[in-house]
Structure 1
């Protein structure tokens, strides 16, 4: 273990540790010699190799967003003032992945209310659309408008507004890419449209209209956020060992190449506790492909299992002013403490993720395996008879599994124990996918801690379908070391999708079953436990704990 390398730069305070000082120094020195800092700042698409060049050429505008997005600030402020004057103080955001994760973090950090609808669960959608519509404005965010979840949510709110005698065009604001089908259709229909920079990928879009419009309308100080990000730009442009983006990205990339591929994220006193969820999507979707990558494991606090204690294949990263590393040492030797305001954190992590992609040898701007789950969901909707029958039923639980589960297993408890027993001790992980109502069933997320203690391995917890736009890429494209526990349920009541031939529950179910089929086809062990009713989640929680 080296001495703690503690460096304070403008806008960010970064401390790193690493098991081999010479290997880390060589990694950073190579990045400096290759002028990676200045070349990323200049938006050089050749940095990630010939195969990535075409994609990178249209995905690098995030580098200058702290300056280029400032033109939006006055427009957003004027619209917020108008909305508040009209008594429209409830802001709902319909969006998935990069369209929702950053605004959720930004607003939570600012202490302003923003309701995020990022689910197809009919109970969740019904709760959102049945709120007080007299004071509601809805932001619908989608780069193309083709995301079925977001389109369905928009349709539900349009119907709810019309039923309440309210013109939807007065209450729905669209954020999309210029010239997209969504842009053209929304403009013709009379909606207010904000057009984002099209040369920024979804997961790098926190400082575009996708992150700024809902956050600003909710009341967050987005100008201060931009100032924080811009203050870090000169340091990130340096071809120097002092560049925090090269140092953090070099550490992440080096660790991944040494099979230290779990990125355990914990809040250490930061006001933006949800930052880990945003980093999770950025890192997992950017690096998890072609059998490589880093799996973010969001644990909440530094005293949580997987951070304390940690495993030998994990990098420990804390964000916030209270560095835990005086008391905690990573089992792998790889660790980082990042103390910076939220805007600087966003800019630093985007830069470091791009750097890590170069070190690992992958394109950090594509997501080749995300479409497979979407296609599987569409096929399920086209053929409801394709819904698989359970292996067995145990009370309130219908248990679905592949041939990896022995035929002698006849209870949900035994099935769970068998799944946990398939985790490879040195490199495996468990991913829990909860296709439930993340507000009503929020307490279930605590099983992550229990399962991590029980298995002594990294455990992630994701709400479906939002994780499909995040860690879903890593599950299918990253190292084949995961096992998967999928939890689905019947709703309290289904809900029609206006103008569609399927209901919200039919689509929700197709997403879960489709993703399970894709994972199984790739040889991943998947256990799906389907609850006969939402109340059964309490019983399942007891089994998992």
Structure 2
């Protein structure tokens, strides 16, 4: 952290109230939606230990059955912690690899389905609500591709959801229950994070043991050291001082930690015209600016990951209290979902057209967009394209060009993933975001069995719905739609336009 945090006078009382689950800490009461009923994460490390024998048994079982790949079908809180587990611990010889599929782009979906490993894949369908349209569409597609082989499916969902019923009726290999009192972005140390981790060889028992030790440390009151309290105070202090771009510095093996922290911080604080903007994976050499707050991780080895998750959860909850907001709700996320539902119907009827710049239009379209960027802003690249190394590289080039030319912080996210991560901040936070939405036409479309929409129509509706939600709030946004394989050319055009 750049500078020691100044603990507020009420710091000790805030810690006590947090662990007493007092909703008044955030200005609410027992009746406040998504507050008193979202504090189960506080003792999740201890409560989740009951899962360990079940997870070890399942992991041994799938290895005996020859499973070589686990494909996680999920969004946001259901997918980001598993990705961090996988990338932090890495693949282990003799254990399945993890593929996180949190996109509806037909090209990405087709790539997973066309892989020869399809017959040795376990599909882990993960959705807290059990109604997530992306997850449901992916489950339907791969259920058909596997010929309805129930042994190739397992689910994680809250009790009583449509997904739980579907898994029981179809005879999925396992159906794990989520915890209704733990919100998605705080669920890393519940079944949502632990099941996929265990399936790929992570010693989840050790991860939980270290997380339990973090619980004890994070309950400490001043003058005792409390890493969660100190980080939360730093986040809130920095935000009040105008240093609202929380720039995360990580080192191996924790290079991927930002993809999880980004959702936690953005979705928890980005509301009511306020918000902390997490900056992760920024190109090297661009970490500068008076609006920046720099922070690193306390974890030193892979098994510390659970403790680091917990530290950040405590910090974010306390920062929310000191920012006078509810860090457990997401009031603007539903808007893009509603827009998607409406646009799916309108796209089917052929009457949802919206202008978008093509590749040839970019030199003209980029000039006024770039001119709208002001000091203290951040630029968000919204990539509705299939995740791929070439697209990662193109986005990194665009971020570097913007930072050099305008001196502002940048973020980048693939759609629809970012809708479940930074999307709340984009619409609910301060009007300091400038958005470049890049959509790539799919090379082919894929039908969603049992649905009226295809994957191509779904991602088009999601992109257009989010664009309209941003425009409705007067956000500065440019929409670009290009052909498959032209994303790198967008980076070329942006570099040329910015000079």
**Which ranges of structure 1 fall in alignment gaps of 5 or more residues?**
1-14, 19-23, 323-337, 396-410
Render the CA deviation track for 1:136-181: whole Å, top value 9, x for unaligned.
Answer: 111000012211000011011101100xxxx421110000001122
Kindly provide the CA deviation profile for residues 420-450 of structure 1, in whole angstroms up to 9, marking residues without a partner as x: 210122x211110000011263322312223
Is the Cα contact below 8 Å between 1:196 and 1:210 reproduced in 2? yes
1:31 matched to which residue of 2? 11
**Would the alpha carbon gap of residues 482 and 187 (structure 1) be closer, same or farther in structure 2, given more than 3 Å must change?**
same
Name the CA distance, whole Å, in 2 between partners of 1:475 and 1:499.
Answer: 33
Q: Please, which of 383, 387, 405 is the counterpart of residue 434 of structure 1?
A: 383
Is the Cα–Cα contact under 8 Å of residues 282 and 350 in structure 1 kept in the other structure? yes
In structure 1, what is the Cα distance between the partners aligned to 2:254 and 2:22? Answer: 32
What is the deviation of 1:393? 4.6
Corresponding residue of 1:260: 243
Alignment of 1:269-288 (within 5 A): 269-288=251-270
User: Is structure 2 residue 121 aligned with structure 1 residue 136?
Assistant: yes
Give the structure 2 partner of residue 365 of structure 1. 328
Cα deviation digits, residues 258-310 of structure 1 (max 9, x gap) = 3321111121x231211011000000000000011101111357x431x2xx1
1:231 and 2:213 equivalent?
yes
1:455 to 403, 406, 420: 406
CA contact (8 A) 1:140 1:150 kept: yes
Question: Could you report, residue by residue, the CA deviation over 1:319-340 in whole angstroms, capped at 9, with x for unpaired residues?
Answer: 3689xxxxxxxxxxxxxxx999
- Which residue pairs with 1:388 in the alignment? 353
Q: Is 1:189–2:173 an aligned residue pair?
A: no
Q: Which runs of 5+ in 2 are unaligned?
A: 92-96
- SS of residue in 2 equivalent to 1:485: strand
SS at match of 1:473: helix
Q: How does 1:19-418 map to 2 (within 5 A)?
A: 24-25=5-6, 27-32=7-12, 35-50=13-28, 53-112=32-91, 113-131=97-115, 132-162=117-147, 167-191=148-172, 192-241=174-223, 242-267=225-250, 269-300=251-282, 303-305=284-286, 307=287, 310-319=288-297, 341-384=304-347, 385-390=350-355, 393-395=358-360, 411-418=361-368
Work out the CA distance in 2 between the residues paired with 1:455 and 1:386. 38
Give the whole-Å Cα distance in 2 for the aligned partners of 1:67 and 1:304.
41
Q: CA deviation at 1:387?
A: 2.8
Judging changes above 3 Å, is the alpha-carbon distance between structure 1 residues 321 and 499 closer, same or farther for their aligned structure 2 residues? closer
Matched, 1:444 2:394: yes
Cα deviation for residue 65 of structure 1 reads 1.0
* 1:83-127 superposed Cα distances (whole Å, 9 cap, x missing partner): 100101211100000100000001111112310000000010011
Three-state SS of the structure 1 residue aligned to 2:248 is strand
- The separation in 2 between residues aligned to 1:299 and 1:169, in whole angstroms, is 38
What is the Cα deviation at residue 386 of structure 1? 3.8
RMSD: 2.0
User: Using the alignment, how far apart are the partners of 1:508 and 1:234 within structure 2?
Assistant: 44
- Following the alignment from structure 2 to structure 1, what is the Cα–Cα distance between the partners of residues 358 and 262? 34
* Structure 1 residues 471 and 389: alpha-carbon distance in aligned structure 2, compared to 1, 3 A threshold: closer
Distance in 1 between residues matched to 2:367 and 2:435, nearest whole Å: 13
Rounded to whole Å, the distance in 2 between the matches of 1:222 and 1:157 is 28
Helix, strand or coil: the match of 1:264?
strand
**Rounded Cα–Cα distance in structure 2 between residues aligned with 1:255 and 1:360:** 11
Per-residue CA shift, 1:6-55, capped at 9, x if unaligned?
A: xxxxxxxxx5515xxxxx53x433212xx222322232222111268442
TM superposition score normalised by structure 1: 0.85
Q: Secondary structure of 1:28's partner?
A: coil
- State the alpha-carbon separation in 2 of the partners of residues 125 and 497 from structure 1: 11
Q: How far apart, CA to CA, are the structure 2 residues paired with 1:99 and 1:277?
A: 12
SS in 1 for 2:34: helix
Q: Cα 1:391–1:127, aligned 2, differ >3 Å: closer, same or farther?
A: closer
Further displaced range: 282-291 or 380-389? 380-389
Distance 2:305 2:66 in 1: 29
Counterparts of 1:238 and 1:496 in 2: how far apart (Å)?
54
Contact residue 28 and residue 247 of structure 1 kept, 8 A: no
User: For the residues of structure 2 that align with 1:357 and 1:341, how far apart are their CA atoms?
Assistant: 25
Deviations 1:444-488 (A, max 9, x none): 231222322222101111111100001000000000111110000
Contact 1:173/1:193 (8 A) holds in 2: yes
